[in-house]
Amino acid sequence: MPLVTTKEMFAKAYDGGYAIGAFNVNNMEIVQGITEAAKEVNAPLILQVSKGARAYANHTYLTKLVEAAIIETGLPICLHLDHGDSFETCKSCIDGGFTSVMIDASSKPFAENIEITKKVVEYAHDHGVVVEAELGALAGIEDEVQVSAEESHYTRPEEVEEFVSKTGCDSLAIAIGTSHGAYKFKPGTNPQLRFDILDEVSKKLPGFPIVLHGSSSVPQEFVKMINENGGNMPGAIGVPEDQLRQAARGAVCKINIDSDLRLAMTGTIRKFFNDHPDKFDPREYLKPARAAIKEMVKHKLINVLGCDGKA
């Protein structure tokens, strides 16, 4: 099976009340951990590559790893550019075999966001590639500084129809209280996504796929593993999984997860070195790290996204 776009995946996910997991990949063990989990539970997948991942691992290595995963699993897999920052980056991924790109011009003024997104959509659609765009800026805590979650940071539902009709984008990432990284909410507070905004957006865009970024739940077992083995991540808090499940039942068709992969991998490797200070063969510590990713992703596919058995 060749790489697929998200068109059919999202249509089925919307109707079926589940979401597709979009997991960030940076190396072979991460690709293997995620795809082995998806194969075991027969789930469709989006594997996404950031600009940083392309700079780290190289475009060709990453696309070939994903092609290898398709050969090994036979699953429908979409290869997606995460947070494309310009037309040129998107074009390079479209020309280089990706089946989906995100143009993230959400920090630009509304009219400029429309203009750049439209340009990417025209080129992508001419080449059979789908486009995710973003409206609104993710709020949260960065570098242990609280970025105040003012209304202006959230997506404005009154803007979404005009944005989608003028750009022709295929899916839309919105800001309803998730944020990137491992420090999403203030310790001691009650994390709560803005489902009122999600509801308004979905009413204005019936049947249209919505995307949530910053959706790691920051499993405390991995934070503990990191902290107990020489790390220092106090107050790392993520999005409650039951709220992600609720979003997946509605219009949210794609849920982005990266930090949880990093935590699983880092926690496992830290523990390995603490338990075996004499070992130095990378295969010995990457093997349990890959297994930890696999178990964590399986849990997400079944209990959070609800996309098991949907491939």
For Zn ion, the binding residues (CB under 5 A) are: 213
Q: What are phi and psi of 291, to 5 degrees?
A: -65, -35
Identify any residues that bridge with 135 across adjacent strands, giving them in sequence order: 174
Long-range pairs, 243-246, Cβ under 8 A, ≥24: 243/191, 243/192, 243/193, 243/195, 244/19, 244/212, 244/215, 244/217, 244/304, 244/305, 245/303, 245/304, 245/305, 245/306, 246/195
What tokens appear for 144 in the block?
Answer: 């242990």
What tokens appear for 301 in the block?
Answer: 């596919």
Residues 6-45 that bind ligand G3H (CB under 6 A): 24
Shortest approach of ligand G3H to residue 56 CB, angstroms? 8
Shortest approach of ligand 13P to residue 23 CB, angstroms? 9
Q: Look at residue 52 and give the partner it binds from Zn ion, ligand 13P, ligand G3H, none, a contact being a CB closer than 5 to 8 Å depending on partner kind.
A: ligand G3H
Q: Which of 82, 104, 260, 308 is catalytic?
A: 82
Residue from 21, 214, 219, 231 in contact with ligand 13P (CB under 6 A): 214
**Residue 260 touching ligand G3H (CB under 6 A):** no
Residues 12-51 that bind ligand 13P (CB under 6 A): 24
> SS3 for 133?
strand
Identify any residues that bridge with 134 across adjacent strands, giving them in sequence order: 173
Task: Using CA atoms of 65, 213, 243, 266 in order, give the dihedral in degrees to the nearest 10.
Answer: 50
- Annotated active-site residue 82? The verdict is yes
Site string for ligand 13P, 194-213 (x = CB under 6 A): -------------------x
Site string for ligand G3H, 155-194 (x = CB under 6 A): -------------------------x--------------
State the residues that interact with ligand 13P by CB under 6 A. Answer: 24, 82-83, 180-181, 213-216, 256-260
